[in-house]
Amino acid sequence: MRTTLVLDRPVAVVPAMLLREERFLYRRIADQGRAVLGIGVHEVVDAPSFDQEGRAMDWTFGALPYEWIGADGTEARRADGGPISQWWIPKWVVEWRGQVVYLHVHPAHVQEIQERRDDLHTELLDPDVELAAHWTERTDRTNYMYHVDRLMRHIQRGDIYEVNYCVERFAHWPSLEPFTAFQRLLHRSQAPFAAFHRDGDRFILSASPERFLAFDHRQVIGEPMKGTRPRSSDPEEDARLRDELARDAKERSENVMAVDVMRHDLSRVAAPGTVMVRELCGVRSYPRVHQLVSTISATIASGSGPLDVVRSAFPMASMTGAPKERAMQLIAMAEGVPRGAFSGSLGFFAPDGTGDLNVVIRAIEFDRRTSLASLRTGSALTALCDPASEWEECVVKARSVLDALRHA
């Protein structure tokens, strides 16, 4: 049983304590006025454990790469037979709920937190972030158009209806300081489902606007996001952009296809008759973008648990296509390299029965040993799409992440 303290001093989002920890995960859940930060590792586990009501037995954080569940629905394994998914129970959890900050301490690490308590309240310095001098496209525009043409032929033949094709940019970035870079990224983007993950020398800085799944005991919602417009400082133009997004036939068709896939995925582990579309193609306005989001809800069936839901719906419909299995096969052929963390998920399950998993997009992956940074972006291809516009969408998404790192 953890000791829970209410902290009477502000806690930095990226406190100095993190410098001494080889693993941590910060997750923002903006629509709940909530954020959590799992610090350190008490125990690595193969999977979270739950009671009959869907409550995690302890705080459990997870990092799920895109390849965790294959196109055939089977779970990928390492060479030693272990899962490629990563789950761990942290030493300490900082939880922001509105204006209140809680510290949940594992009983084995009470003494250590007493000795390091001040580090929670010490914010790391925020120097200017020096941008990488040059980003190299792993797939240039010519090759992109070649692969898009091949994928569009599959759409025209009816093999698939939608496919999410992604491209990668990389840079040698020895000056990148991931701790302060994430502070800048979060401050500038205000991304509702942002994440900051460290695993040794590898970091993920994600300004994610998209939720994958949220849990409340045996209730689950999925929120596929397809469709984006920028915000404008001019109120009339901003309203026009919002209305344009709501009416865009291509964006709506992409969203509806993702909804159909998620409904199917959830129906395999949901109680009969409980899968419902609460909202279809609703426009949500965030500080920098308008997003087209749908919400699907379900009650988890007796005999299944939250992790069964995650497995059934993974990888998320918005980052694969329809039908999912064939789309994933074509993605693997077109992209040629594993996605890894990108379009996977970072999240947690809590003892109060809640859990939240995001979609890892708008993300910089950084390896401090090699100073190599990677930034992947993509878009959905359908029969209605214009390939040149899809390429530009990939460029704009990449630019939005890098611009957020610039000094205000």
Whole-angstrom distance, CA of residue 74 vs CA of residue 66: 13
Q: Which CA distances in Å does 352 have to 48, 58, 216, 355?
A: 14, 9, 8, 9
Please confirm, yes or no, whether 210 is among the known catalytic residues: yes
Would residue 285 be called left, alpha or beta, if left means φ above 0 and alpha means ψ between -120 and 50 degrees?
Answer: beta
CA-based angle 227:232:233, to the nearest 5? 155
Residue 324 falls in the annotated catalytic set: no
Beta bridge partner(s), residue 74: none
**CB contact at 8 A, 124 and 19:** yes
> Both tokens of residue 80?
């030693």
Give the CA angle between residues 270, 159, 317 to the nearest 5°: 35
Asked if 404 contacts 185 with a C-beta cutoff of 8 angstroms, the reply is yes
Q: Contact 251/292 with Cβ under 8 angstroms?
A: yes
The C-alpha atoms of residue 97 and residue 32 are separated, in whole angstroms, by 8
Cβ(313)–Cβ(220) under 8 Å? no
Contact criterion met (CB below 8 Å) for 64 and 314:
yes
Q: Which helix (H) or strand (E) holds 60?
A: strand 60-64
Query: From the candidates 226, 251, 324, 390, which is the catalytic residue?
Result: 226
The catalytically annotated residue of 67, 168, 177, 210 is: 210
Structure token digits, residue 384: 């209605």
Q: Are 121 and 19 in contact (CB under 8 A)?
A: no
The residues assigned a catalytic role are 210, 226
